[in-house]
Amino acid sequence: MGTQAVNCNNCGAPLEVGEATKYATCGFCGSQLEILRSGSAVYSQVLEKISRRTAEIADDVEVIRLQNDLERLDREWLLEREQHMMQGKHGRTYRPSRAVGVVGAIVMAGFGIFWTSMAISMEAPFFFPLFGLVFIGMAVAIGISTVSKAGSYARGEEAYHSRRRSILRELQARQRGS
């Protein structure tokens, strides 16, 4: 079996390798070399650099994966957000607010209490004060539902932001590293 002359790709030292040798160690600088053949040309490549390039590609793939995660998270939150939104007039949606729920319930209940006491003081037929009581009940129910929707919106939003922050942190760490 013949030998081939090849130069170390790291230090340029002349090396002799077997015709079928795929890997060699440079006797001068100690580099791990991969022996590559292209037609009649024989050359060497430092293995450490190859593995570094592979690590860079893996890093790039991870960055793309994280960017995709971020986009998907944003899309999912937009959809989830719709579920938390409340229907307003003319099909408009708005974000449920704890303050609006509480104030709205107080105003509605206040009207119900006013109505009921007026109906009682005027000795109106029973269904007049009863309507006022039903109105108060509705005010409390709508108030509780709005406050609870505001709570689940806030929890969903917090979960979204914390997941987003952790993906961004990972992305920044990757980009700093490469």
Q: Which residues bind Zn ion (CB under 5 A)?
A: 8, 10-11, 13, 26, 28-29, 31
CB of residue 24 vs Zn ion: minimum separation in angstroms?
10
CB of residue 172 vs Zn ion: minimum separation in angstroms?
37
C-alpha torsion 139→141→147→152, nearest 10: -150
Whether the CB-CB separation of 118 and 110 falls below 8 Å is answered with no
Whether the CB-CB separation of 86 and 162 falls below 8 Å is answered with no
N-terminal to C-terminal alpha carbon distance within the chain: 43
Which CB sits closer to Zn ion, 9 or 146? 9
Which CB sits closer to Zn ion, 26 or 109? 26
CB of residue 8 vs Zn ion: minimum separation in angstroms?
3
Which CB sits closer to Zn ion, 47 or 63? 47
